[in-house]
Amino acid sequence: MLKSVDHIVLTTCDLYKCVDFYTRVLGMRLERYGEGRFALRFGDQKLNIHPPGVKAGIKAKKPTPGSLDLCFLADRPLDEVIAQLKQHEVAIEEGPVVRTGARFAIRSVYIRDPDHNLIEISELAEKSLETAD
């Protein structure tokens, strides 16, 4: 019945900190649509942003900043990602570690965004799976 994810909604308590982090640190592109609506694009995916007071027609019953646990596949080697995170003074909470991805074993680092969502950034693991997620 289902084929893929179209978009995910990211609830934030500070639109400007959220946009800065995802655009400056992670390299996503800001997109404006509708009346006062924002999204972050990367590849063929997007994150819609719901700041406080957003006028969405329908949304989660209890949207809560910091409740997401997201995993992104990197477009470059993980060591380059780690270097970029260090350049932006983003703390790595865990990793690199090998985990189970949706399609293959992944090597990941874990960070937090300004709302304290857990962000996993991964690459294809070169060796066999050592630990499971």
Q: Which of 60-64, 66-70, 109-113, 115-119 has the lowest mean pLDDT?
A: 60-64
Binned at pLDDT 50, 70 and 90, residue 133 comes out as: low
Tell me if 121 sits within 8 A of 84, measured CB to CB: no
pLDDT in tens, 70-101: 999 999 999 999 999 999 999 999 999 999 99
Could you tell me the two tokens for 132? Answer: 């499971």
Tell me if 70 sits within 8 A of 28, measured CB to CB: no
Could you tell me the two tokens for 29? Answer: 């592109």
CA 18-67-104 angle, 5° bins: 95
Tell me which residues are annotated as active site.
120
Distance CA(58)–CA(46), nearest Å, equals 18
